[in-house]
Amino acid sequence: MSDRPMSDRVFLRGVELHATHGLLEEEARLGQRFTVDIDWWLDAGDAAAHDNYGETVGYEKVFAVIHEVSSGRRFHILEAFAQTIAETVLARYPRIEKVRVEIHKPSAPIAGIFRDAGVEITRAR
């Protein structure tokens, strides 16, 4: 890595999942749709200067983490789901300095009209 300040952001939007996360038994039985948006910050200067994929963290790697975490266990709350994604990304890819995870649960079991529900967390080294 260079001495440049880290300011580069890579992102992945709209990762769709069908999962059984939630508190209610109905959520465990039927499952529902979740959407994940994720950003990660790293110094991409060397990767860009050398046009070298090996000096960055690619979208497909982070995509795989999201699916792995989601299918690995059932989460009762979105905060735990989001934090586990963030912690896994940071643990697996030391180039990443910070990660932001946003999880949308548009069919949350709320008796009322709403467009979306969710959580956003940011974790850094």
Tell me the catalytic residues. 105
Neighbouring CB atoms inside 10 A of 18's CB total: 10
How many Å apart are CA 17 and CA 123, to the nearest integer? 22
Closest residue by Cα to residue 14 from 53, 59, 57, 56: 59
E strand or H helix at 62 = helix 59-72
Q: Rounded distance, CA 27 to CA 73, Å?
A: 14
